[in-house]
């Protein structure tokens, strides 16, 4: 389902799951489902980043293609929605602006922002992290790349510095990454079962990442 920020009614607990999603894969799906189960979320909005100041744009697929791969991955799953809110915004995109806008338009929603452990560790370098924490709770998913004690220490440091809520999800060993998928494609190795089947078929039939 596509989320259109045009008065669409939302209620309950909802998380925005932001990321480049280059490409969106099975690890992302499992992370979204795990967050929903642990925190009782009614919806998870998958929001591909637009022109991010934190990323090199050279190897990133165009927004329409990344969104299409997500749409194919979440078919028939009422929990998950995809939003082009950031990719349609001109210029640089900032998470604090996205979450402020969502909270202003949907004040009845309890908002969370779902991120990976690497993002938590770098959060001071994000634009206005204190404004992100003003408008939503942070949910942190770890794939085992950081020790829990390190993440807890960072979460406590950020709480003291900026206030707000930061919750850690149980560690899950998800040995899939978007960068590995891109590397395997360029090496002409299979990425089947690393993506949802329809996304895999679209990716291979359109020869994506073979530049």
Read off the pLDDT band of 200 (50, 70, 90). Answer: very high
The pLDDT value recorded for residue 173 is 75
The pLDDT value recorded for residue 210 is 82
The pLDDT value recorded for residue 66 is 97
User: In the 8-state DSSP scheme, what is residue 79?
Assistant: T
Q: pLDDT tens, 58-87?
A: 679 999 999 999 999 999 999 999 999 999
Distances in Å between the Cα of 53 and the Cα atoms of 50, 78, 104 are 9, 32, 24
Say if CB 208 and CB 195 are below 8 A apart: no
Residue 54 pLDDT > 60: no
């Amino acid at each position: 389902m596509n989320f259109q920020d045009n008065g669409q009614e939302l209620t309950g607990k909802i998380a925005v799951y932001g990321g480049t999603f280059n490409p969106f894969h099975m690890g992302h799906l499992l992370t979204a489902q795990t967050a929903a189960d642990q925190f009782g979320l009614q919806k998870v909005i998958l929001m591909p980043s637009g022109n991010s100041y934190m990323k090199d744009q050279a190897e990133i697929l165009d927004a329409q293609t990344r969104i299409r791969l997500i749409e194919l991955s979440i078919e028939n799953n009422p929990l998950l929605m995809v939003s082009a809110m950031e990719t349609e915004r001109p210029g640089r995109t900032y998470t604090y602006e996205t979450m402020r806008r969502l909270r202003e338009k949907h004040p009845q929603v309890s908002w969370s922002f779902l991120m990976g452990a690497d993002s938590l560790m770098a959060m001071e370098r994000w634009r206005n992290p204190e404004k992100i924490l003003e408008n939503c709770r942070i949910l942190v998913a770890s794939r085992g790349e950081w020790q829990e004690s390190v993440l807890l220490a960072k979460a406590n440091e950020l709480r003291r510095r900026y206030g707000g809520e930061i919750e850690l999800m149980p560690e899950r060993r998800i040995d899939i990454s978007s960068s590995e998928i891109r590397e395997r494609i360029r090496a002409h190795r299979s990425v089947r079962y690393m993506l949802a089947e329809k996304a895999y078929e679209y990716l291979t039939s359109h020869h994506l990442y073979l530049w």
